[in-house]
Amino acid sequence: MEILYLSRKDIEGLNVSMKEVIDAVDNGFRLKGLGRTEMPPKPGIHPRENSFIHAMPGYIQEAESAGVKWVAGYPSNLEKGLPYITGLLILNNPETGIPYAVMDCSWITAMRTGASVGISAKYLARKDSRVSGILGCGVQARTSLMALVEILPGLKEVNCYDLFPEAVNRYIKEMSTVFPKLNFRACSTPGEMMKGVDIALSAIPIVNDPRPPLNAGMLKQGILAVSLDYDSAWTGSAMAECDKFVSDDINQLLATKEHGDYFRDIPEKIYADLGELASGRKKGRENSTEKIFSLNMGISVEDMITARLIYNKAVEKNTGIKLPL
């Protein structure tokens, strides 16, 4: 028995586009909405303050993709010059259970997370959204912008804020090379970043005792706000101000809330999850004035469908190293 090992470099070399990842993840959400996936809420351990290492198992029948992602998030890595998010993903044969691939999960995580933001925008943003606002100019904010550009062709302006001005400068320098037609604006406060924003994204470290910088009164009519950082960036009153509160998975949201560390202040009423929207079971945006909040925790269906896409391409292109099991 053999496994195929794929490093981050191997995966990057496959040149899978954001459009391909969005299509795959959207299909994953659709299958989830139709009840054709198995995905228990993710358990985690927390060896250091504000850190997590999560196990994210999932199975998607139609894609014949089964496996688990073992992913760590360490905010303190920043000062060590190490990435916040690292980890591995294992694919298992659904017929025998035998593992057949092990791969780096940092590229997959970044791309499928960005794709989830694009999918939230597909169902929940105004089609004529022009201005986007970014809080936390790191890895996920880069792939999220890639996805927003795919979904919202009218996007013109990007307001950027980060605790560290040099992170904003790096982001603008890099992303304006990729998207020369977008106008980037470095903002000196979170409030300034939110001005006139049609689609807001927060991607700062998840912390246990958050002091969220984004508050009620900052969200304009017709906005879509997407959180990738649990409840670290938005106050309960900011979320409560929204007409619809959506998540990527209601079960996981409620299980995490019950655990007690996060989501103490989220609204009682959860309108839908992305699976229900992608499968057409619930309507997304219904008019141009609703304020909508999408809390995307990250779910294993996104990983399993993307990992299978990567594996198929790797086999096709004869990439990676075969190792004995």
Ligand X SMILES: NC(=O)c1ccc[n+]([C@@H]2O[C@H](COP(=O)([O-])OP(=O)(O)OC[C@H]3O[C@@H](n4cnc5c(N)ncnc54)[C@H](O)[C@@H]3O)[C@@H](O)[C@H]2O)c1
* 277 interacts with ligand X by CB under 6 A: no
* 296 interacts with ligand X by CB under 6 A: yes
CB of 298 to ligand X, least distance (A): 2
Q: Which residues are bridge partners to 72 per DSSP? A: 53, 86
Q: Rounded to whole angstroms, how far apart are CA atoms 49 and 35?
A: 36
Residues in the chain: 325
Angle made by CA atoms 298, 106, 185, in degrees to the nearest 5: 75
What is the token pair recorded at 141?
């904010």
Nearer to ligand X, 3 or 187 (CB): 187
* 160 interacts with ligand X by CB under 6 A: no
CB of 77 to ligand X, least distance (A): 8
What is the token pair recorded at 112?
């499928």
Task: Check residue 209 and report its DSSP letter.
Answer: S
Question: Which residues 223-242 are close enough to bind ligand X by CB under 6 A?
Answer: 228-229
Binding segment (CB under 6 A) for ligand X, from list 8-16, 160-168, 272-280, 283-291? 160-168
* 306 interacts with ligand X by CB under 6 A: no
Nearer to ligand X, 33 or 212 (CB): 212
Among 37, 51, 65, 109, binds ligand X (CB under 6 A): 109
Check if the beta carbon of residue 199 is closer than 8 Å to that of residue 133: yes
Location of structure tokens 């936390």? 136
Quick one: which of 153, 141, 140 has its CA closest to 181?
153
CB of 98 to ligand X, least distance (A): 28
Nearer to ligand X, 212 or 222 (CB): 212
Location of structure tokens 């198929």? 312
Binding segment (CB under 6 A) for ligand X, from list 55-63, 145-153, 178-186, 200-208? 200-208
Complete DSSP assignment for 174-197: HHHHH-TTSEEEE-SSHHHHHTT-
Among 59, 84, 107, 262, binds ligand X (CB under 6 A): 84
The residues that touch ligand X, with contacts defined as CB under 6 A, are: 73, 78, 84-85, 109, 113, 116, 135-141, 162-164, 167, 203-206, 213, 228-229, 296-298
